[in-house]
């Protein structure tokens, strides 16, 4: 057989990187910037995890034994089933400091992280972790104080052997526990120091499967417990271990400091001074100072001085702290599904994306500890106001994940650790599916502030060179949406990828929109026009136009973003395509009937055995029409500020928003009107309502932002907008803060009846936008 050598090496198109210089190769992301962000708490999926921003890093982390009703369990990976009554970063600056509280039954752990770079440190500097273990009830009699067991580990993903040093341990003096050497940081050492009486044991393992570390430690402990009846690591090690686990056991309360110093191979590296400075009272002093800096920066970045009561202040700090403390670094290859490939079947029907790095905030540490494209745009609304360098670095990473077609996979499941959290059928990403281009939300704000000269000059320069390099990618991204998601009519769009064959879903889902089960046309078709996507395209074109302006780009034919933005915000065209003028509401358009329901169908299996399944029944022929569901989607033209301030339609929108029988609740706006035929309806037997009623903070932020806008614009409804704005803002903040103090967590959504947090808890992704609501920071368009 003759093979064409060129064909042989050519990658399938879908996994071919976008052919342009990588954003992350820009000089501004090298040098000092890169080094300053090298180490961090970049493993959000574990309760405390440290790594460097490099593919095969040294990892550090914490485990402990939790005790509930006399039963023991290992805590390591963030899991709801561990039932911690609260945990999260109360402070974190995204760079060199964080403070976290974890409450596990009767035990409270406080973990602090501090980074420092001094003469003698290796690349990326040194870092310290303080673990402070307290009993929850402060006043307990001596004899009730039990022993706690915590475990601190170092692991080398690259497989390098780590050396143990456990002879003559003297924790009061400060002892070397482990050491090693790597290309990136040179020689390194791990030290432990404590004023308390600690017992230290260890175990060493050699394995590539670092994500199974909890099991390895549990097995080791289990075997010891069975043999000797004690909870103690074996004090043995595999030959050339790449993982070392140290068990610290002591009576509660106790404190221990663990220090990592790098560059220790060199003579003048001053290890002893560095360890001293990062432990004991010196560490205490530095942590206090960092905490003060955080508090000041919090008030300054969000203009919050004197604006907040102390409960809101605490919740607000936890929100931004967790957003920053939840930033992770991942490395690996996405799986891309290939629907067109007949040779492969089922779950094997995928190919791998190129190996890639992703630095990103995550929606939820226990449930979704990985990157999600449209979540990220909302995260960046908050992060750029805190530290624009971090924001550009994150946005740059995302844009570098673009393929030659201008597509970016929506959910990033990179590496074994990330994969272990996702059921197999959800792993492959579909190259036909998009996700709202929310990165433009953050870019719009950044560009606007740039135009207003709000940044210091070094920042302005970096933003400009970032935009310069990002431009071709942003254009390609825009084009991807504009071509692959376009509808039949000129300047119409619809989310591709809805399932037209399903018989089980009450309303086939639109996962790519981000609004999953939010009701759309009952019968997916090419005739659909999705209102939200149209408005996202308006945002994208408008933002492209403003970037082109900043960069002085010529408007080439076909790339006149200003003209596109004009078209997409044309009030007449919008109204023709999406307005129900009797109602004054905007809707999707498509092949639709309201007369659908789920019913149980009996299937005979053999002669006398029947199974039941819940299937959809359609009681009327669908027809092309507006899809009459009032909810978040119908408010998109309002969120996009497309409606002129003097229009009667604006008044109608304000009515829909403020009407308690429609969208208004005392806790924020419902995702779907109470009057909708699908309000709080399950989609299948296994799919409870998700975007069909509950309150979501990202959309409420967008709506609040538009209310704020209309409350400043001259027009007959200005005062009305202002009043609604004030009430809605108060309701949203009050409810999130109340839930935070009552439950210890921020939540994925809030119940529209009682305001109770629901869905994933420790959802410190876009729910953290509550800080911007507090700050009244909305950006201008
Ligand atoms: C699939 C399921 C144990 C759903 O916040 C992330 C996303 C949002 O982007 C989206 O808009 N969440 C929202 O509707 C969470 C989605 C998680 C998908 C996980 C695996 C089993 O996991």
Say how far apart CA 767 and CA 755 lie, in whole Å.
Answer: 14
Surface-to-core class of residue 708, CB atoms within 10 Å of its CB (0-12 exposed, 13-18 middle, 19+ buried) = buried
Say how far apart CA 290 and CA 296 lie, in whole Å.
Answer: 10
Q: CB neighbours of 303 closer than 8 A, spacing ≥ 6? A: 775, 777
Whether the pLDDT of residue 344 is over 80: the answer is no
Whether the pLDDT of residue 7 is over 80: the answer is no
Most ligand 1 atoms within 8 A of CB, residue of 81, 366, 372 to mutate: 372
Say how far apart CA 111 and CA 48 lie, in whole Å.
Answer: 8
Ligand 1 atom nearest residue 511's Cα: 14
Picking from 87, 91, 90, the residue whose alpha carbon sits closest to that of residue 103 is 87
**pLDDT confidence of 340, banded at 50, 70, 90?**
low
ipTM reported for the complex, 2 dp: 0.96
Which residue is associated with the tokens 């509950």?
694
Task: State the pLDDT at residue 1.
Answer: 46
Structure tokens at 501: 């064959």
Segment 187-197, tens digit of pLDDT = 999 999 999 99
- CB of 364 within 8 A of CB of 762? yes
Between the CA of 484 and the centroid of ligand 1 the distance, in Å, is 23
Structure tokens at 84: 């911690």
Task: State whether residue 87 is helix, strand or coil.
Answer: strand
Whether the pLDDT of residue 334 is over 50: the answer is yes
Task: State the pLDDT at residue 139.
Answer: 53
Per-residue pLDDT, averaged over 308-321, amounts to 96
Most ligand 1 atoms within 8 A of CB, residue of 375, 423, 536 to mutate: 375
**pLDDT confidence of 485, banded at 50, 70, 90?**
very high
Ligand 1 atom nearest residue 514's Cα: 11
Say how far apart CA 351 and CA 753 lie, in whole Å.
Answer: 45
Cα-Cα-Cα-Cα dihedral of 178, 183, 187, 192, to 10°?
-40
Smallest CA separation from ligand 1 atom 16, residue: 368
**pLDDT confidence of 142, banded at 50, 70, 90?**
low
Per-residue pLDDT, averaged over 425-451, amounts to 95
Task: State the pLDDT at residue 144.
Answer: 57
Between the CA of 423 and the centroid of ligand 1 the distance, in Å, is 12
**pLDDT confidence of 421, banded at 50, 70, 90?**
confident
- CB of 455 within 8 A of CB of 449? yes
What is the per-residue burial (b if ≥16 Cβ within 10 Å, else e) of 753-781?
Answer: eebbbbbbbbbbbbbbbbbbbbbebbbeb
Segment 396-417, tens digit of pLDDT = 999 999 999 999 999 999 998 8
Q: Which stretches does DSSP call E strand in 378-489? A: 411-412
Whether the pLDDT of residue 532 is over 90: the answer is yes
Structure tokens at 613: 């399944």
Q: CB neighbours of 273 closer than 8 A, spacing ≥ 6? A: none
Smallest CA separation from ligand 1 atom 8, residue: 514
Tell me whether residue 516 is one of the annotated catalytic residues.
Answer: yes
Task: State the pLDDT at residue 557.
Answer: 75
Task: Give the residue with greater pLDDT, 268 vs 719.
Answer: 719
- Percentage of the chain exceeding pLDDT 70: 96
Say how far apart CA 71 and CA 420 lie, in whole Å.
Answer: 26
Whether the pLDDT of residue 269 is over 90: the answer is no
Most ligand 1 atoms within 8 A of CB, residue of 81, 361, 368, 376 to mutate: 368
Which sign does the torsion angle of CA 460, 463, 469, 475 carry? negative
Between the CA of 431 and the centroid of ligand 1 the distance, in Å, is 18
Task: State the pLDDT at residue 368.
Answer: 94
426 lines ligand 1 (CB under 6 A): yes
Selecting among 516, 666, 687, 776, the annotated active-site residue is: 516
Task: Give the residue with greater pLDDT, 258 vs 266.
Answer: 258
Between the CA of 511 and the centroid of ligand 1 the distance, in Å, is 9
Per-residue pLDDT, averaged over 365-370, amounts to 95
Say how far apart CA 737 and CA 242 lie, in whole Å.
Answer: 44
Per-residue pLDDT, averaged over 513-531, amounts to 98
Whether the pLDDT of residue 610 is over 50: the answer is yes
366 lines ligand 1 (CB under 6 A): no
98 lines ligand 1 (CB under 6 A): no
Q: Which stretches does DSSP call E strand in 31-120? A: 39-40, 49-52, 58-68, 71-75, 86-92, 97-104, 107-116
Whether the pLDDT of residue 611 is over 60: the answer is yes
Ligand 1 atom nearest residue 748's Cα: 5
Q: Give the number of C-alpha atoms closer than 13 A to the C-alpha of residue 395, restricted to the C-beta side.
A: 31
The distance from CA 12 to its chain's CA centroid, rounded to whole angstroms, is 30
Task: State the pLDDT at residue 305.
Answer: 78
Most ligand 1 atoms within 8 A of CB, residue of 78, 366, 429, 514 to mutate: 514
Picking from 656, 638, 623, the residue whose alpha carbon sits closest to that of residue 521 is 623
Task: Give the residue with greater pLDDT, 730 vs 419.
Answer: 730
Ligand 1 atom nearest residue 763's Cα: 5
Smallest CA separation from ligand 1 atom 18, residue: 368
Q: What is the number of helices (H) and of strands (E) in the chain?
A: 19, 32
Say how far apart CA 381 and CA 778 lie, in whole Å.
Answer: 9
Mean pLDDT (the chain) is 94
Helix ranges (H only) for 346-429 are: 373-386, 388-399, 415-419
- CB of 277 within 8 A of CB of 200? no
**pLDDT confidence of 527, banded at 50, 70, 90?**
very high
Surface-to-core class of residue 439, CB atoms within 10 Å of its CB (0-12 exposed, 13-18 middle, 19+ buried) = buried
Task: Give the residue with greater pLDDT, 316 vs 424.
Answer: 316
**pLDDT confidence of 69, banded at 50, 70, 90?**
confident
Ligand 1 atom nearest residue 765's Cα: 5
Cα-Cα-Cα-Cα dihedral of 23, 27, 29, 33, to 10°?
-170
Picking from 339, 148, 330, 350, the residue whose alpha carbon sits closest to that of residue 253 is 148
Smallest CA separation from ligand 1 atom 15, residue: 368
Smallest CA separation from ligand 1 atom 10, residue: 514
Of 371-380, 507-516, 608-617, 702-711, least confident by mean pLDDT is 608-617
Segment 555-604, tens digit of pLDDT = 777 789 999 999 999 999 999 999 999 999 999 999 999 999 999 998 88
Say how far apart CA 307 and CA 300 lie, in whole Å.
Answer: 12
**pLDDT confidence of 68, banded at 50, 70, 90?**
confident
Task: State the pLDDT at residue 306.
Answer: 80
Apex 109 CA angle, 106 and 112, nearest 5: 170
- What predicted TM-score, i.e. pTM, was given to this entire model? 0.96
Ligand 1 atom nearest residue 367's Cα: 3
Per-residue pLDDT, averaged over 516-523, amounts to 98
**pLDDT confidence of 304, banded at 50, 70, 90?**
confident
**pLDDT confidence of 342, banded at 50, 70, 90?**
very low
**pLDDT confidence of 301, banded at 50, 70, 90?**
very high
372 lines ligand 1 (CB under 6 A): yes
Tell me whether residue 748 is one of the annotated catalytic residues.
Answer: yes
- CB of 230 within 8 A of CB of 266? no
Per-residue pLDDT, averaged over 688-711, amounts to 98
Long-range contacts (CB closer than 8 Å, 24 or more residues apart) made by 385-389? 385/301, 385/302, 385/772, 385/777, 386/93, 386/94, 386/297, 386/301, 386/320, 386/324, 387/93, 387/94, 387/95, 387/324, 388/446, 388/455, 388/459, 388/462, 388/463, 389/33, 389/459, 389/462
Task: State the pLDDT at residue 779.
Answer: 84
376 lines ligand 1 (CB under 6 A): no
**pLDDT confidence of 303, banded at 50, 70, 90?**
confident
Between the CA of 368 and the centroid of ligand 1 the distance, in Å, is 7
The string of DSSP letters for 743-763 reads HSS-EEEE-TTT--EEEEESB
Whether the pLDDT of residue 4 is over 90: the answer is no
Segment 168-185, tens digit of pLDDT = 778 888 789 999 999 999
687 lines ligand 1 (CB under 6 A): no
Between the CA of 222 and the centroid of ligand 1 the distance, in Å, is 35
374 lines ligand 1 (CB under 6 A): yes
Task: State the pLDDT at residue 555.
Answer: 77
Selecting among 104, 126, 157, 748, the annotated active-site residue is: 748
């Amino acid at each position: 057989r003759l093979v064409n050598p060129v064909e042989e090496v050519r990658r399938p198109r879908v996994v071919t990187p976008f052919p342009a210089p990588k954003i992350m190769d820009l000089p501004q992301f090298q040098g000092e910037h890169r080094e300053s962000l090298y180490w961090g708490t970049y493993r959000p999926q574990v309760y405390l995890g440290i790594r460097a921003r490099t593919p095969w890093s040294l990892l550090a982390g914490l485990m402990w034994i939790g005790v509930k009703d006399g039963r023991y369990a290992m805590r390591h990976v963030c899991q709801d089933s561990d039932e911690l009554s609260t945990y999260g970063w109360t402070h974190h600056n995204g760079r060199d400091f964080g403070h976290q509280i974890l409450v596990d039954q009767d035990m409270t752990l406080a973990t602090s992280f501090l980074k420092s770079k001094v003469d003698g440190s290796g690349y990326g500097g040194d870092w310290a972790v303080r673990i402070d273990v307290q009993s929850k009830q402060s006043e307990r009699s001596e004899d009730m104080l039990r022993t706690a067991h915590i475990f601190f580990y170092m692991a080398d993903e690259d497989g390098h052997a780590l050396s143990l040093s456990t002879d003559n341990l003297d924790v009061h003096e400060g002892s070397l526990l482990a050491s090693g050497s790597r290309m990136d940081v040179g020689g390194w050492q791990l030290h432990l120091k404590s004023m308390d009486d600690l017992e230290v044991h260890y175990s060493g393992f050699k394995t590539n499967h670092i994500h199974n570390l909890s099991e390895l430690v549990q097995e080791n402990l289990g075997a010891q417990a069975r043999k000797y009846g004690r909870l103690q690591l074996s004090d043995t090690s595999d030959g050339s271990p790449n993982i070392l686990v140290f068990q610290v056991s002591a009576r509660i309360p106790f404190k221990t400091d663990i220090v990592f110093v790098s560059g220790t191979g060199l003579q003048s590296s001053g290890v002893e001074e560095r360890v001293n400075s990062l432990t004991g009272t010196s560490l205490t002093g530095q942590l206090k100072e960092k905490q003060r800096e955080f508090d000041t920066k919090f008030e300054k970045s969000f203009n919050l001085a004197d604006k907040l009561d102390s409960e809101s202040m605490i919740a607000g700090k936890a929100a931004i702290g967790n957003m920053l403390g939840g930033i992770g670094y991942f490395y690996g290859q996405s799986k891309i599904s290939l629907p067109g490939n007949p040779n492969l079947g089922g779950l094997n029907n995928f190919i791998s994306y190129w190996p890639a790095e992703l630095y990103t905030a995550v929606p939820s540490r226990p449930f979704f500890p990985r990157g999600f494209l449209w979540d990220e745009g909302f995260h960046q609304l908050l992060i750029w106001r805190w530290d624009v360098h971090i924001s550009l670095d994150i946005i740059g990473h995302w844009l570098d994940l673009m393929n030659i077609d201008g597509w970016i996979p929506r959910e990033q499941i990179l590496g074994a650790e990330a994969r272990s959290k996702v059921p197999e059928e959800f792993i492959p990403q579909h190259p036909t599916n998009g996700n709202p281009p929310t990165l433009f939300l953050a870019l719009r704000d950044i560009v606007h502030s740039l135009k207003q000269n709000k940044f210091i000059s070094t920042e302005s320069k970096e933003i400009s060179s970032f935009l310069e390099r990002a431009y071709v990618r942003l254009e390609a991204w825009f084009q991807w949406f504009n071509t692959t998601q376009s509808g039949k009519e000129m300047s119409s769009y619809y989310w591709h990828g809805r399932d037209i064959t399903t018989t089980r879903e009450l309303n086939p889902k639109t996962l790519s929109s981000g609004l999953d089960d939010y009701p759309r046309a009952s019968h997916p078709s090419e005739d659909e026009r999705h209102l939200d996507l149209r408005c996202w395209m308006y945002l994208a074109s408008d933002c492209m136009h403003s970037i082109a302006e900043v960069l002085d780009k010529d408007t080439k034919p076909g790339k006149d973003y200003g003209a596109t933005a004009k078209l997409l915000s044309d009030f007449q065209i919008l109204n023709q395509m999406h307005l129900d003028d009797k109602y004054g509401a905007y809707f999707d358009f498509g092949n639709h009937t309201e007369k659908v329901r789920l019913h149980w169908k009996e299937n005979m299996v053999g002669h006398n055995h029947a199974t039941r399944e819940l299937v959809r029944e359609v009681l009327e022929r669908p027809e092309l029409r507006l899809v009459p569901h009032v909810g978040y989607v119908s408010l998109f033209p309002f969120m996009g500020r497309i409606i002129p301030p003097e229009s009667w339609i604006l008044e109608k929108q304000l009515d829909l928003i403020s009407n308690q029988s429609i969208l208004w609740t005392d806790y924020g706006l419902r995702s779907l009107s109470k009057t909708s035929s699908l309000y709080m309806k399950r989609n299948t037997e296994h799919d409870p309502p998700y975007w069909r009623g509950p309150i979501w903070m990202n959309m409420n932020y967008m709506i609040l932002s538009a209310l704020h806008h209309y409350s400043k614009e001259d027009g007959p409804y200005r005062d009305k907008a202002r009043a609604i704005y004030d009430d809605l803002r108060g309701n949203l903040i009050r409810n999130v803060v109340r839930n935070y103090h009552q439950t210890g967590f921020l939540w994925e959504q809030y119940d529209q009846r009682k305001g109770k947090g629901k869905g994933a808890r420790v959802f410190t992704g876009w729910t953290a936008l509550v800080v911007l609501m507090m700050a009244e920071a909305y950006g201008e368009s």
